[in-house]
Amino acid sequence: MHQLRILFALAAPLVLAAPGASAQSPGNAGVPSLVVQGSTTFTHQVMEPYQGAIEKAAGVKLTVVPSKSSLGVLALFEKRGDFAMISGPLDNEIAELKSAHPALDFGRLKTFEIANTRMAFAINKDNPVTAVSDDTMRQILLGAITNWHEVGGPDRPIRIVIVRGGGGVQASIEDELLHGKSIAAPNPIVVQISSQVIKVTEQLPEALGLSQLSIVAKSTAHELKTDHPIVQRLALLTLGDPTPIMRRVIEAAHKVMADAPQ
């Protein structure tokens, strides 16, 4: 009985400590851990290739949860994340959230641009059209031009391929090329995630996919060039001013991306 009491006495502190124990592995004992949620574009362009370098430079452990820019912002307010990743204009993300969450104090959000990436209009490899003017692309996206033969291609309807619920690519196009107007092309093909845009474009000769240049370059699709490139700005958001640890992450991410090969 005396031995059992000793065993229980030794075990009790371990049981009591478990609920508040750090989720970090023994090798990371004492290393701060932060959660980053949001844009898959930010995830693909920044976190997947450079997370290790950012963690090392900042002295932190990052848990990355890719979803959508707007969901990352919502996670900040719900205290499920320390940073939100966004890949388009913040005003667009706020507008999407305001209808469902009008009471949120969006004025508390702080934006820290980390990098940028160029988007691309992707077309099927069998489409002979290679370039259109900015104004022509504007007319396509707004539904005034609806057939490829109107821009020197085959007699096929133009089918825009976009991500459901928008996303950073669409938001950047609407902001920079359409001057705030919404894409209004008829019969768009709507997919769930950004990686599906290029897969559909590779299969359908009539497709016009809204994607990133880096993704198009790794596919069998071609870029339909316009007069001016459209840039997506990739940023981290915080709710209020960042803590010193969070600021280390921001500074590390900015430096790592500035030094990254272009």
User: What does pLDDT average to over the chain?
Assistant: 88
Q: Where in the chain is the domain with CATH 3.40.190.10?
A: 33-117+233-259, 118-230
The answer on pLDDT for 15 being more than 50 is: no
* pLDDT of 4: 38
pLDDT tens per residue across span 141-165: 999 999 999 999 999 999 999 988 7
* pLDDT of 19: 28
Report residue 168's pLDDT band, with 50, 70 and 90 as the boundaries: confident
pLDDT tens per residue across span 31-76: 999 999 999 889 989 999 999 999 999 999 999 999 889 999 999 9
pLDDT tens per residue across span 116-133: 989 999 999 999 999 999
Higher pLDDT, 247 or 26: 247
Question: Range with the lowest mean pLDDT among 20-24, 60-64, 242-246?
Answer: 20-24
What's the whole-model pTM score? 0.76
Report residue 238's pLDDT band, with 50, 70 and 90 as the boundaries: very high
The answer on pLDDT for 100 being more than 50 is: yes
DSSP characters over the chain: -HHHHHHHHHHHHHHHHGGG--SS-GGGTT--EEEEEEEHHHIIIIIHHHHHHHHHHHT-EEEEEEE-HHHHHHHHHTTS-SEEEE-S-HHHHHHHHHTT-TTS-GGGEEEEEEEEEEEEEEE-TT----B--HHHHHHHHTTS--BGGGGTS-S-B-EEEEETT--HHHHHHHHHTSTTPPP--SS-EEESSHHHHHHHHHH-TTEEEEEEHHHHHTSS-EE-B-SS--EEEEEEEEESSPPHHHHHHHHHHHHHHHHS--
CATH, range 118-230: 3.40.190.10
* pLDDT of 193: 81
The CATH number of 33-117+233-259 is which of 3.40.50.2300, 3.40.50.12780, 3.90.1150.10, 3.40.190.10?
Answer: 3.40.190.10
Report residue 29's pLDDT band, with 50, 70 and 90 as the boundaries: low
Pairing of strands 109-123, 222-223: antiparallel
pLDDT tens per residue across span 178-236: 998 999 999 999 998 888 999 999 999 999 999 989 899 999 999 999 999 999 899 99
